[in-house]
Structure 1
Amino acid sequence: MASLTFLGATGTVTGSRYLLEIHGHRYLVDAGLFQGEKELRLRNWQPFPVEANSIEAVILTHAHIDHTGYLPRLVREGFHGRVYVTPSTKRLLSVLLPDAAHLQEEEARYANKVGSTKHSPALPLFDTDDASQALGLLHAVPFDQPFTLHPGCTFTFHRQGHILGAAAVELRFKGRGGEPTSLFFSGDVGRYAVPILMPPEPFPGATYLVVESTYGDRVHDAGDPREQLAEVITSTAQRGGVVLIPAFAVGRTQEILYYLRELEDDGDLALPPVFLDSPMAREATAIYRQALSEHDAETRFVEREDEPFLPSSLRIVTTVSESQAINALPGPAVIISASGMATGGRILHHLRHRLPHPQNTVLFVGFQAQGTRGRKILDGEPTVKIFGEHVPVGAQVAHISSLSAHADREELLVWMRQAEQAPKQVFVTHGEPEASQQFAELIQKELGWPCHLPQYGEQVSL
């Protein structure tokens, strides 16, 4: 018998965790942190529903924290098996997991300092030692090479193009009565015709499909993101303001830098000083520059001539004092800093300083989950809470949806249509409720595949 239990990414875009039990073996696909609403974040602290040391292996689709950030906590609870990742995901996690641990420690330290906690003392969800132990468990597996988990059960990574190293996971095993069975996890599906990374490989078909639905209820803006980016920077510069870009350190930051370099080279934009203020983004960009095998042909061509991620006006911020000094600088300028949904990191200090002033612009370039500070700003709330203070939102707010790393509903259908085998069942996850529901209905209408929206904690037999 085989079963799949949905321990996250149900009714939300975060906390991706799928518990798989096959032939008495127990595996976890993704080990993500819940983010956003407090009710969701509290799930990170709940005891894991099975003994951590009973899990033989974890398979990670890609490096983003909502898919990997729970791994150090799982290690703290006793997990000691292998963690299977693509080579680029392994390199990125060497940056992301220590950074996530540092943020956990800093949040606990700050809560103890100001007394904003019911617990005494406040403790981090995990620490840098846990992150270090987790990194020691990583085992790299290349794309398109089947790997045996146990006799009769293999998995394969398929390229997804969402970020560097992003993969779908295909598992093959014997089902009830010895029948060959395949279970396919989409991970986060990337975009078509975007720079830097190769496009996602089409869904080949499977007995069961677990598919994301982040943008399952909408289509991305068809506008040129380069032109939109140039327009926001130009209009803000004319006001003497600063463009603040909360950007995911992995993926979005590199794409923005790529577009800025193109705009500069083509003479389409008088680029003001650009500050990259994120140690994690700085290290991730170096990893992107080294990963030539995953780049598309256009990017590889540029790399033969020059540095595609380094516009001439780029200033890389390295120290905390340098980061603080930026806040004293007048505009025009562009500040790119993490986190992408303004939930933590250095972007909060810049928002606290720049958000009240109308000459500035906050530019969102990725999905903003419900309950996050970024979503509140994007939804037009008059104030947001930063470091315990209510900061007025006086700045202009802009959003370039076409810069998203997630496929929209039409691109998801393109990815699915080429399947040689129609799934017996599709499980629609990793989306807010309305997006998942609409996408499930679209799949059933366009492809005729039966869909199910699993609930948190639900177990299904395979």
Structure 2
Amino acid sequence: MHMTFYGATNTVTGSRTLVEVAGKRLLVDCGLFQGFKALRERNWDALPFDARSLDAVLLTHAHIDHSGALPLLMRNGFTGPVWTTAASADLCEILLMDTAHLQEEEARYRNRHKATRHEPAQPLYTTHDAERCLSHLKRVSQGEVLELGDDVRVRFTRAGHILGASSVHIEHGGKSVLFSGDLGRDDDLVMYPPETGQKAGWVVVESTYGDRQHPATDAIDKLGDIIRRTAARGGVVLIPAFAVGRSQGLMYALYRLKQARAIPDLPIVLDSPMAISATEAYVRHPEDHRLTPEEVQGMRDMTRFVRTVDESKALLRQRYPMVIIAGSGMVTGGRILHHLAYYGQHSRNTVVLSGFQAGGTRGASLAAGATSLKMFGEYVPIRSEVAQIEGLSAHADQADLLHWLGALGQEPEQVFVTHGEPQAADALRLQIKEKFGWKARVPDYRETFKLQET
């Protein structure tokens, strides 16, 4: 069994790991790189492996940093199945089509405004590529053993984090490797905790929050404080949020605040067609989350859904306090840019960063205190309040990650720490060695390991 890391090494994006076992070539996740330009440019490079040689893709969950490069596989000749859970497959249909549409829109914008070094500008992939990809999605239940031939068995188990998110266990001939995927929190507001106790010879664990703990303060209370003080000065609260997971968690937090009458009865706006569609998946997959049907319906009834561009633009003409949730979560694109370019210039308003902000993103710049941001080709001053609420993150923190590892059921031969910024990944590596005495390392980009017992 061999394993090569083609992404998520010293970064939280671009998850792609190739496992070669019993003549099978299995790619675990196929995500886009995000953040710093040097990382984003990898998306345009030739794939570092032959897509035609892959037997299957094992997709842990639908977020774009794990699924977003799947259409590139189709364009490069991949013809096999993409195995994932039913909820993840449903969300992929939403996310991949939207990402392809945004790629096409950006190319058209650059060509229209002559803002390109290449004539003409081309999208990374098209909606046609995404549609082809969707036909390859094959659904598997969590806990089900998938037989891939030659005595290779794969099992998906609940990882928390978002709907359908899974850890992936690959086993052959007594050897096994376990990929954590993105792990959720033990005390998540919406999702069930990750399943524990999967024994494996080798473990690949994420480390997004590998160097920190979620604050002990109540995140919902903090959000309520921010909304009350912003509304008191007549301002608007802008919340950049990922369409899947974060938007629904925020809606539930706001629903709780409204039910408790802890915030004024101001409008709650979800300005994201993708997030609106993702919210409907919570109705179709009640087995994947903690919320009751009444709570899901209450969230939907509370929220004004904005689908069209004209409706979104009309929000800029409003002159009363409200909360606007819009993508993207790290302010890298989407409708949040238009709202930030306008509302961010006024001190009465507040921008709430509700989760991890990868280096090189506008969200990270805001978190670092930037007084201006480049949007639509020019620098826009930022005078609004910027507040961070890390307690709403759907990612396991260091304590959660160590708890999941400690409950594996046996000491692995080695732990590979991925999907984290350098400081976070190395901090978790050190904790694994000090707390458990296990071998742990942070792999390099394109590094290959032969998995054999010592």
Do both share a fold (TM > 0.5)? yes
Task: Find the counterpart in structure 2 of residue 330 from structure 1.
Answer: 319
Alignment of 1:238 with 2:232, yes or no, is yes
Answer whether contact 2:14 2:32 (CA < 8 A) is retained.
yes
Alignment of 1:445 with 2:434, yes or no, is yes
Number of aligned positions between the proteins: 451
Deviations 1:44-77 (A, max 9, x none): 1111122211111101000000000000111111
Answer whether contact 1:264 1:311 (CA < 8 A) is retained.
no
Deviations 1:433-459 (A, max 9, x none): 011111100010001110011000101
- The alignment partner of 1:190 has SS state of coil
Cα distance, 1:308–1:416 mapped onto 2, change above 3 Å:
farther
- The alignment partner of 1:434 has SS state of helix
How many angstroms does 1:306 deviate by?
6.8
Task: Find the counterpart in structure 2 of residue 310 from structure 1.
Answer: 300
How many angstroms does 1:195 deviate by?
2.0
How many angstroms does 1:309 deviate by?
2.1
* 1:396-415 map, 5 Å: 396-415=385-404
For structure 2, list consecutive stretches of 5 or more residues without a partner in the other structure: none
Task: Find the counterpart in structure 2 of residue 199 from structure 1.
Answer: 193
* 1:56-67 map, 5 Å: 56-67=55-66
CA distance in 2, matches of 1:56, 1:337: 37
Cα RMSD after superposing both structures: 1.1
* 1:61-210 map, 5 Å: 61-174=60-173, 180-210=174-204
**Match of 2:201, as an amino acid?**
T
State which of 375, 385, 410 in structure 2 corresponds to 1:386.
Answer: 375
Cα distance, 1:423–1:256 mapped onto 2, change above 3 Å:
same
CA distance in 1, matches of 2:198, 2:53: 31
CA distance in 2, matches of 1:453, 1:203: 23
State which of 239, 244, 253 in structure 2 corresponds to 1:250.
Answer: 244
CA distance in 2, matches of 1:160, 1:459: 26
Task: Find the counterpart in structure 2 of residue 364 from structure 1.
Answer: 353
Deviations 1:180-239 (A, max 9, x none): 101000000101122222111114221000000001001011111110111111111011
Alignment of 1:350 with 2:339, yes or no, is yes
Alignment of 1:259 with 2:249, yes or no, is no
CA distance in 1, matches of 2:50, 2:169: 25
Structure 1 window deviating more from structure 2 (134-143 vs 72-81): it is: 72-81
TM-score by length of 2: 0.98
CA distance in 2, matches of 1:30, 1:241: 41
CA distance in 2, matches of 1:85, 1:93: 10
How many angstroms does 1:272 deviate by?
1.0
- The alignment partner of 2:29 has SS state of strand
**Match of 1:6, as an amino acid?**
F
* 1:221-232 map, 5 Å: 221-232=215-226
Answer whether contact 1:213 1:436 (CA < 8 A) is retained.
yes
How many angstroms does 1:311 deviate by?
5.2
**Match of 1:307, as an amino acid?**
Q
**Match of 1:458, as an amino acid?**
E
Answer whether contact 1:171 1:182 (CA < 8 A) is retained.
yes
CA distance in 2, matches of 1:203, 1:6: 25
CA distance in 1, matches of 2:143, 2:210: 27
How many angstroms does 1:304 deviate by?
4.6
Task: Find the counterpart in structure 2 of residue 213 from structure 1.
Answer: 207
CA distance in 2, matches of 1:24, 1:417: 32
